[in-house]
Amino acid sequence: MVLTPPVRRVSWATATRIIATRYPPIDLFERISLDPAVRDALIEAEMMTNPRLRDEIGEIRLVPPEDRVTGPGAGYVMAAFTHVNPAGSRFSDGSYGVYYAARDLATAVAETAYHFGRFARDSDDGPRYEDMRVLVCRIDRSFHDASRLPEPERSLVLDPDDYSAGRRLAGALRDAGSNGIAYPSVRRPGGHCVAAFRPKAVGLPVQAKHLKYHWDGHAVRRYFDYAEDRWCDTGL
């Protein structure tokens, strides 16, 4: 039996998400009509006639028409749900996408630097750099609050390395129509994160700045902030 955590309102003016710059926005979602009927017809028509666009959009079937978003910034949101990591994540078994964001930049850096480092280690990469894009959006929705689960369920869901309990909880909540899960960061003490299960649970983001992560062969311990023209500690 999966315990259901209580719901609370998450109202953040600048929820922060960090992605690699090699992932550009999906242009189709940025430019097509806001009218749902026109939007879905255009997507279907363009995908039928353009193989490259099919690859760019990804698995659009994973997002029900009523949950899709369009307009400036929409490509960054939709990509999180149509280009799914088959290996999964904390709150996904790999069969659906999740939009992860943090309340502040420091938490977003700690979370993404950790996962980028794990990917580089698994890939047996030597020291290298990766340019990253910082996106910010407004979030004002109700989310299930994992921090208010009773023990031992809370510790299981927020385990730093074992995602099995988190995936079970997320799958049950998503199937029940939840917007997503609010949870404390396990990479930065005091940080707060959300995992949104549908595009309309978050606002359309804008690009804030660029960063450069440094994988030193063991971890991502520092990043370069182009706006501030300095190297910063990731906290890992």
88-110 confidence digits (pLDDT tens): 999 999 999 999 999 999 999 99
Q: Please tell me the distance from the alpha carbon of residue 85 to that of residue 55, in angstroms, as a whole number.
A: 15
**Sequence-separated (6 or more) residues with CB below 8 Å from residue 196:** 98, 99, 100, 101, 139, 141, 143, 179, 180, 202
Q: How far is CA 179 from CA 35, 67, 210, in A?
A: 23, 11, 28
The domain in which residue 35 lies consists of 24-82
- Does 148 share its domain with 197? yes
Query: Do you find a cis peptide bond into 24, omega within 30 degrees of 0?
Result: no
- Does 137 share its domain with 66? no
- Does 155 share its domain with 204? yes
- Does 155 share its domain with 202? yes
- Does 136 share its domain with 164? yes
- Does 108 share its domain with 172? yes
- Does 66 share its domain with 175? no
Give the pLDDT band of residue 61 (cuts 50, 70, 90): confident
Does residue 37 register a pLDDT over 80? no
Does residue 48 register a pLDDT over 60? no
Residue 2 lies in a domain: no
Average pLDDT over the chain reads 89
Residue 197 lies in a domain: yes
- Does 163 share its domain with 210? yes
Residue showing tokens 């209580």: 6
Q: How many domains does the chain have?
A: 2
Chain segment 144-201, per-residue pLDDT in tens: 999 999 999 999 999 999 999 999 999 999 999 999 999 999 999 999 999 999 999 9
- Does 68 share its domain with 110? no
- Does 63 share its domain with 129? no
- Does 193 share its domain with 215? yes
Q: Please tell me the distance from the alpha carbon of residue 79 to that of residue 141, in angstroms, as a whole number.
A: 20
Q: Please tell me the distance from the alpha carbon of residue 77 to that of residue 205, in angstroms, as a whole number.
A: 8
Tell me if the pTM is above 0.85.
yes
